[in-house]
Structure 1
């Protein structure tokens, strides 16, 4: 081993001795240039590696963004499909709703027509009554409330005090009322009698209930004798329990003693009229 080392050192000394100083300096310069180039290349390589790492990082970020965008796009496509389906169903439901509203409006129109027909008949009754009965008489009132005709006749015009026998003058007035009722066979006439609150007890009647009912039936009998169809007539006694005013003076008690004849369409007839309109509506559809 020692021998080999000594031989190598000797060879090196021989080579060194063989190279001139000029060539040696040139070699040193060349080595320096090579080293500089190596250092520059190393710096550039490191920069490239750094740029590559940054580019790779950006690439991964872009890949993630692309994946997010794809997921968002898929979600949007699904939402769009769901929205399209909902919109289609909504449009269908809206169309059905509009159709239903049209049908309901048509039904309302039909019902309104039926009510208008009833109101027209009611107006005709009022006109006839005002013409026939003589509306200028202060003891007779004719008015309309909620489509119903009311004829209110003062007690003194129909009966003597405490009596349920109809007076001659009352028969004359009731004759005119009968004429109007007879002209409207599809209507009913309810005779509704009211008393004041003064206690009444004249046998065979026991109280104001008996008196009011008896007076109502007396008027009904007069109308029946005037050829009014009994099927159109209703007798009702209300006693003193539906006063117009307080029973605190003689004048007010006189106002409360009254008989009302209520002319109104037969309920069955009216509903038949409505049903007929509904059938017409169905036939029209």
Structure 2
């Protein structure tokens, strides 16, 4: 009986030992599995942390890029505004210059019309005179009436001849009908020296001849003196050679130069600009 009990106890102990080992093995297996899972989870966690770090860096770069783009957009907007203002100013400047050009062109056209009317009137008044004695031409918008000295003066003299007064009377009629013009009377000589009791030199002769013409226009024909200027040019502006008698005869002349009134010319420009602005 005692043997049977001993065997039973021994068997119980062995059976109990076998179950504990099995459970231990199972627990050990579970522990390894859990450790493996933990290791795997740790690896994944580390990987996620690294990925998160990279993503944060990318986000930071994107934020910086976005900020830079926003700044650029602002700069572009500012630049575009400045360019628009500059363009607007340029257009205004072009418009003003265009108005000025148009006004000047209108003023020039008006001035040319006045010049043409003056030339027509002078040629009509002096049409029966010899072309050798009187020439009327236009240079750069200025009207010139050139009268030979043989028609106006006796040789070496500055007194106006009776025939010359007839010519000057016709010129006076034309200029008096056009009060908006001024003119200068120029005396010209050849280069032959002169020195007499009346004249110091060619300067003196040319001036006295010019003043004689102006005086006749004023005193005999009522031309307003404020519209006239007398000038002596001596022999320094020849129109022909002084080496021949024919050339010297051409150089001895009195020239009436019609001068545009600049203040009236500018007034025409201003009127044109005001008119263009209102259009």
- TM-score tier, shorter chain, comes to 0.7 to 0.9
How far, CA to CA, are the matches of 1:104 and 1:77 in structure 2? Answer: 40
| TM-score, length of structure 1 as denominator length | 0.74
Q: Which residue, out of 103, 107, 110, partners 2:100?
A: 107
2:73: which partner in 1? 80
Helix, strand or coil at the partner of 1:153: strand
Partner in structure 1 of residue 145 of structure 2 = 151
CA shift for structure 1 position 124: 0.5
Q: Alpha-carbon deviation of 1:142? A: 1.2
Alignment correspondent of 2:242: 247
Please report how far the alpha carbon of residue 68 of structure 1 lies from its aligned counterpart in structure 2 after TM superposition.
2.1
Whole-angstrom CA distance in 2 between matches of 1:62 and 1:170: 109
Q: TM-score, normalised by structure 2?
A: 0.76
Q: After superposition, what is the alpha-carbon deviation per residue over 1:93-113, rounded to whole angstroms, capped at 9, x for unaligned?
A: 322332232233223322322
User: Is residue 99–residue 273 contact of structure 2 (8 Å, CA) maintained in 1?
Assistant: no
Distance 1:136 1:254, change over 3 A: closer
Counterpart CA distance in 2 for 1:43 and 1:155 is: 133
Q: Provide the C-alpha distance between the structure 2 equivalents of 1:226 and 1:51, rounded to a whole number of angstroms.
A: 121
Structure 1 position 218, deviation (Å): 1.2
| Counterpart in the other structure of 2:251 | 256
Instruction: Give the deviation of 1:198 after TM superposition.
Output: 1.2
Give the deviation of 1:138 after TM superposition. 2.7
RMSD: 3.8
Cα distance, 1:258 vs structure 2: 1.5
Q: Does 1:161 align with 2:132?
A: no
Q: Which residue of 1 aligns with 2:25?
A: none
Q: What residue ranges of structure 2 are gaps of 5+ in the alignment?
A: 1-34
* Gap runs ≥5 in structure 1: 1-41
